[in-house]
Amino acid sequence: MAGPQFQEMTEWSRFFTDADAQGSIVVLDARGKSETTHVYNVSRAYQRYSPASTFKIPHSLFALDSGLLRDEFQLIPWDGVKRSAAAWNADQNLRSAMRNSTVWVYERFAKELGDTRETAYMHTIGYGNAVATGDKPFWVEGDLAISSVEQIAFLQQLYRNQLPFQVEHQRLVKDVMVNEASPDWILRTKTGWTGKIGWWVGWVEWPSGPVFFALNMDTPNRLGDLAKRQSITRGVLRSINALPAAP
């Protein structure tokens, strides 16, 4: 991200200040013939943090590649254990597990894959520090960590179907990432939250090309801060016409 196409966006501080939040955002605008990377809070953008549920994007690819999942329709039976989120207390499939960020589904994948295979997959795609050590789940409580800059690099590969997985699996994961769409654009995203750090990563697809983003912020007010992930990011994207104005 060095060089003339790397722009530090100090003016984006207002989106964080208005939300009373501390964080960073990286936006790679690939509309048109050139790519421009915009960064607010450069030092933080290169700092690695636990990916939390943004890891469900590569984790879904691992589950599909290993045969744990056939497709988005395969039933993942609930174990009957009541959990804090009501939507988790039911059978799942890939689409619902991504939409509801159903932790137990991915804990089950992790158990079936095992740390050695998880680590090998992460090394293959160059995902952050690519470790499955520490407390479980390792992508929330453990030692796995990734920077916003690395998130963008990973998302670019997924967008282009350039990851070392079957193209149909990459397309499927992108399909279950759809958050919003209109005739002109598609927003594909995933949230993440460790309890202390919040993420929102993804991209907006336009006919002229994609705009990738990775927001990372502190969440000292815990649940009270979570909506800020999207509101800050949407404000930033609208400021460069990467998302339409709110209706």
Strand partners, 214: 26, 201
Structure tokens at 41: 């809070």
- Check residue 185 and report its DSSP letter: -
Active site residue 53: yes
Beta-carbon count within 10 A of 194 CB: 16
Cα gap 136→167, rounded to integer Å? 30
Q: Which CB contacts under 8 angstroms, 24+ apart, belong to 124-130?
A: 124/164, 125/58, 125/154, 125/157, 125/163, 125/164, 126/150, 126/153, 126/154, 127/58, 127/154, 128/48, 128/51, 129/48
- Check residue 41 and report its DSSP letter: S
Structure tokens at 113: 């894959």
Beta-carbon count within 10 A of 120 CB: 14
Contacts of 3 (CB under 8 A, 6+ apart): none
Strand pairing report for 186-193 and 36-40: unpaired
Indicate the angle between helix axes 56-66 and 148-159, nearest 10 degrees.
Answer: 40
Active-site residue (options: 53, 101, 147, 148): 53
Q: Which residues carry out catalysis?
A: 53
